[in-house]
Amino acid sequence: MGTVSVSPALKEAFRITRMLDTVLGEDRFDNSPVKVEELAMQYSAKTAPESPIHEVTEKNIPGCMGALVYGDNRPRQWGILYHHDQTPGRRAYTIAHEFGHYVLHRDLIDEDDDFDGGVYCSEDSILRRNGSGIEQEADEFAANLLMPLNDFRKQIPAKSVPNFDDLGKIADRYGVSLMAATLRWLEYTETRALLVVSNEGYAHWAKTSTPALKSGRFIRTRNTMFELPQSATAVTKNYCDETETGIQRPSDVWFPEPVLEMCIRSERYDQEMTLLHLERSAPIHQEEEDVADTFDRFMRS
């Protein structure tokens, strides 16, 4: 069997996860989520006492959700900033993302003049989990630190078809937003599913599970305006208990096949989240299981 390649982001997240499991127990999520603000400051003080994270602070940083910044003096003293008015779940993920930059990239950020005092992270790279380069690496670190895949898969198996109530319970378990929990689930599910985030009848962005993408079911939102179907709940706004648990839409509403549509609205953020479950007509891809089992193989080694 060939060697399993593990990215630096996954390796660091796994290492800290194993440390937390040892100290707090593997059932620690039954008691509380990761206390990421406390973890970031204590971990940095232990591993880099000359250059730790001194504070985690709320700031008004327009256009950004979070930042990892450093002071003028050497050795560098670091701080994590998060944009004001974030829900606790969004704030936790933002802090974990910036903590990922500290663990993985602080030398690069310090030495490269292009960063000019720190790295500032947009909504696209944190909330939508759609960054590249070091943003993608910090995102990968945050997701695996806050929502370890081995525990997540025990709560929602890869073949399950969760509704927003199921995903909401998972979000509470990990202390993250419903959005973050749904995106994490989409990474490993063996079902064909899509998440669509919309407002005023148009999709702002969408994420697709790998099986759905491989079967040709996706929604284009980059450089285009995708108008939602007129019967979609996000358009009709006929919200009820059934829209959260699922309404069966016939062929040619969303795709040329039936779809189970679930939808909720956030008044705070003035947007809708629609989760689309497609029938299990596409083949299950073995490579999905290989990716999902990377954590287990790493822990065994």
- 3-state SS, one letter per residue, for the chain: CCCCCCCHHHHHHHHHHHHHHHHHCCCHHHCCCCCHHHHHHHHHHHHCCCCCEEEEEEECCCCCCEEEEECCCCCCCEEEEEECCCCHHHHHHHHHHHHHHHHHHHHHHHHCHHHCCEEEECHHHHCCCCCCCHHHHHHHHHHHHHCCHHHHHHHCCCCCCCCHHHHHHHHHHHCCCHHHHHHHHHHHCCCCEEEEEEECCEEEEEEECHHHHHCCCCCCCCCCCEECCCCCHHHHCCCCHHHHHCEEECCCCCECECEEEEEEEECCCCEEEEEEEECCCCCCCHHHHHHHCHHHHHHHC
Residue range 163-199, pLDDT digits in tens: 999 999 999 999 999 999 999 999 999 999 999 999 9
State the sign of the Cα–Cα–Cα–Cα dihedral 266, 269, 270, 272: negative
Higher-pLDDT residue of 261 and 115 is 261
Which positions ≥6 away from 130 have C-beta within 8 Å?
Answer: 124, 205
Q: How far is CA 217 from CA 23, 194, 195, 226, 280, in A?
A: 43, 8, 12, 14, 12
Higher-pLDDT residue of 288 and 189 is 189
Domain ranges of the chain: 8-149, 164-286
Q: For residues 135 and 125, is the Cβ–Cβ distance under 8 A?
A: yes
Give me the pLDDT at residue 222, please: 84
Mean pLDDT for all residues in the chain: 90
Question: Mean per-residue pLDDT for 44-70?
Answer: 95
Q: Is the pLDDT of residue 293 over 80?
A: no
Residue range 213-255, pLDDT digits in tens: 999 999 998 888 899 999 999 999 999 888 988 999 999 999 9
Give me the pLDDT at residue 281, please: 62
Residue range 249-274, pLDDT digits in tens: 999 999 999 999 999 999 988 999 99
Domain 164-286 has CATH 3.30.160: no
Residues 48 and 142: their CA atoms lie apart, in Å, by 20
